[in-house]
Chain A
């Protein structure tokens, strides 16, 4: 299973679900817009240690830390 902390810049992915280890984190991710079937792409990474991660979610841009991105499961966009 691929999670969003492992993806490379420029590759498109589809959200398939969330690792349910931290329900309050998942709720926050859902509220800001992440949902099943959404299109995500890593656009930029921060200057220090390639963190945090900036994603395109549909037409929005959202920055996540590694331990937040790890909660989002994705598969290659086809």
Chain B
């Protein structure tokens, strides 16, 4: 029997993904649409009566007026206008039972497409607990379609739903959809409101728990404090709770390296596997604990309903610098790593705002820059006290601030030049607070971690191999300086000499393309080679004698902008779907890094540092 194709549609926050995960067991294939970043998922399940069903999860939308990219994609899929995607046979339309009055017009819009459908009054238990009384039979009669009250988070709820679905889908594939006569949105709304008034027997005031929490969380003074506390906890967790795990991964990578190193005797293969593949991939995997913690926080905030509040709270501030409240979380994530940050920018529905956010995301000081900052600050900035503060700490703080201030200025300029265009809107529904369901939570966590690993992993693996090759060959090369990387460094030096960089820095920047902190290891290699075997002094001490203070400060300034991270560029390319914008991002970061490092160098020289 061929599978029946059903599409799952409904407004955002109505529990669509929960039902989808519950029915398909979370085994889904995600598909991106060309040119846009709207993602739809497809999954498969067999109904209790033995009917195979292909279920497609469309983006959460309020209607079909094609205002947003999400709506356009959903409409095109439903009308069978997407190449390689067959029209569904029928629809499962979800609606949050507690919000029946406000959202019923969404159901009418889907009904107008003429497909066979069932309406799912989801989260019926929560609505009843609030005190809602709905005459389901009446609603069915008014809508002319089957209405199934459901609790999609519970297994029993889903099973009861499936029993009903089996009775309904009989003969759906033979139905030829008859599109209803077009009505204005106003007429549809009026019809929906009239139906809702007849079907709702009693409607209580808003959810009390949500009102009580929002009384604090949305308070003009307490609200920002709550947000700051959450952010503080999040950063604390990302930076200090993850250390043992990161050490373990580092130890594991070098252990595997040793093991492989001992068992592979062919010299080039040994080097390729140990120095290229294992060290290279290990240098990125080491950030995995931070990224997992970050996603745990972000997902909890999203699933509970707080994220929309944070976006609202930050909206005016972000607006004044040329961004959008929804850019807040992507930019925040970028402090751990720009890759999940750029990926998180998908939640911004204004295409121009999304682009601006992606372009400035690398300016947030990611954790890969920390090893570089720590090394240089430790070597050159004396740990003296300035008033209450440690001078080293102040410089580190200053570097973070420099990144944020640059992002604000760049966003401000971009908004008025390169990404100018269509007016941005907020219009955001704040969902009722909910406890995240563990199954959805871990499924989502796994999906995001996997996406990071896939995206970072593939690009890192290939760049690691290329960079390893550059650093090791030609075979006649006795040191890194004589290798291809050394030659490229030699050319780069001519370009970088005016901003105070020496040959060693230029060479170290080449393998630093894989991940920023790799430059630290590369500096170690360059200087160790130069000083011969007897040079066992710590890298910091070597740098103190090899670099002038202006050079060190210029290097720090360079790293505030540091365009050299292949994985970030590759992610930006994928998410913007444009080489032009990726080149623009690299170009402006490189230009800024060059100018700011040069300014720092010459001003420091002028000051006699």
Residues of A participating in the B interface, judged by any CB pair closer than 8 Å: 24-25, 27-33, 35-38, 43-52, 54, 56-65, 68
Cβ < 8 Å to A, chain B residues 402-436: 425-430
Alpha-carbon separation in the docked complex, A20 to B474 (Å): 71
| A-B contact number at CB 8 A | 118
Task: Decide if B313 touches A46 in the complex (CB within 8 Å).
Answer: yes
Question: With contacts A44-B219, A62-B428 known, is A31 near B315, CB below 8 A?
Answer: no
Name 19 extra pairs, CB < 8 A, besides A46-B315, A52-B316, A63-B308: A27-B67, A30-B63, A31-B62, A32-B427, A32-B429, A33-B103, A33-B429, A35-B186, A44-B214, A44-B218, A46-B313, A49-B316, A51-B316, A52-B325, A59-B101, A61-B210, A62-B428, A63-B312, A63-B315
Which residues of chain A have C-beta atoms less than 8 A from B103's C-beta?
33, 60
Cβ < 8 Å to A, chain B residues 281-336: 308, 312-313, 315-317, 319-320, 325
Q: Is the interface of A mostly helix, strand, loop or mixed?
A: mixed
Which residues of chain B have C-beta atoms less than 8 A from A50's C-beta?
220
Which residues of chain A have C-beta atoms less than 8 A from B312's C-beta?
46, 52, 54, 63
- Please tell me the number of chain B residues within 8 Å of chain A, measured between CB atoms: 44
Which residues of chain B have C-beta atoms less than 8 A from A62's C-beta?
427-430
Kindly state whether residue B105 has any CB partner on chain A within 8 Å.
yes
17 A-B residue contacts at CB 8 Å? A24-B67, A28-B427, A31-B62, A43-B218, A45-B220, A47-B224, A47-B313, A51-B316, A52-B312, A52-B316, A54-B218, A58-B99, A62-B428, A64-B426, A65-B315, A65-B426, A68-B425
Question: With contacts A31-B67, A63-B428, A65-B315 known, is A57 near B193, CB below 8 A?
Answer: no
Cβ < 8 Å to A, chain B residues 204-258: 204-207, 210, 214, 218-221, 223-224
Task: Decide if B313 touches A60 in the complex (CB within 8 Å).
Answer: no
Task: Decide if B425 touches A28 in the complex (CB within 8 Å).
Answer: yes
Task: Please provide the 10 A-B residue pairs with the shortest distance between their CB atoms, ordered closest to farther.
Answer: A33-B102, A31-B62, A44-B218, A61-B430, A35-B189, A31-B63, A48-B316, A63-B312, A51-B316, A60-B102
Alpha-carbon separation in the docked complex, A28 to B185 (Å): 10
CB distance from A16 to the nearest CB of B (A): 13
Kindly state whether residue B75 has any CB partner on chain A within 8 Å.
no
Cβ < 8 Å to A, chain B residues 73-105: 98-99, 101-103, 105
CB distance from A17 to the nearest CB of B (A): 9
Kindly state whether residue B190 has any CB partner on chain A within 8 Å.
yes
Task: Decide if A60 touches B67 in the complex (CB within 8 Å).
Answer: no
Task: Decide if B315 touches A35 in the complex (CB within 8 Å).
Answer: no
Kindly state whether residue B203 has any CB partner on chain A within 8 Å.
yes
Q: Which of A24, A29, A36, A59 has the most CB of B within 10 A?
A: A59
CB distance from B109 to the nearest CB of A (A): 8
